[in-house]
Amino acid sequence: DSGVTQTPKHLITATGQRVTLRCSPRSGDLSVYWYQQSLDQGLQFLIQYYNGEERAKGNILERFSAQQFPDLHSELNLSSLELGDSALYFCASSGMGLAGVDTQYFGPGTRLTVL
C-alpha cells in the first residue's frame, strides 16, 4: 500500500459527460502528479501540483483541468468526454517539488470507460 488513495476505482460514463477523479496524497507529501495510461497513447504525464500551485504541465487537453486543495488532495476534472479518453488515470505524490529528488508513490488508479 503506497498510502496514496484514488476514488473512484472504476467509472463508466457516456460521451459528452463530465467526471471528477479524486486523489489523496500520502500524509505530508506536497506534490501531486496526474498521469494517463491507455493502449493507444501509452503513459502520459498530465500535470503536477506542489502545495496548491501548478508546477509542471504535460500533455493535458484543454478539456481537462486539475487543482490541488488546501488539504493537499487533488481533483482531475475531465469534461466533454470522448471515447478516446477511456484510460487508466493514476495519481502519484512525493515529498518534494521539482527542485529536489522526488520519489513518487502511486495510487491504484481510476479506470475510466467512456461509452
Partner 1 sequence: ELKVEQNPLFLSMQEGKNYTIYCNYSTTSDRLYWYRQDPGKSLESLFVLLSNGAVKQEGRLMASLDTKARLSTLHITAAVHDLSATYFCAVMRNNDMRFGAGTRLTVKP
Contact 76, 20 (CB under 8 A): yes
Residue type for 31, please?
A: S
| Spatial separation of the C-alpha atoms in residues 94 and 11, rounded to whole Å | 26
Binding stretches for partner 1 (CB under 8 A): 2, 35, 42-45, 48, 55-58, 90, 92, 98, 101-109
Please say which residue, 13 or 45, places its beta carbon nearer to partner 1: 45
Residue 2 sits at the vertex; the CA angle it makes with 91 and 66, to the nearest 5 degrees, is 15
- Min dist. Cβ of residue 76 to partner 1 (A): 16
> Is the backbone peptide bond immediately before 108 cis, with ω within 30 degrees of 0?
no
Please say which residue, 16 or 58, places its beta carbon nearer to partner 1: 58
- Min dist. Cβ of residue 101 to partner 1 (A): 5
- Min dist. Cβ of residue 2 to partner 1 (A): 7
Please say which residue, 20 or 106, places its beta carbon nearer to partner 1: 106
- Min dist. Cβ of residue 54 to partner 1 (A): 9
| Dihedral sign for Cα atoms in the order 51, 54, 58, 61 | positive
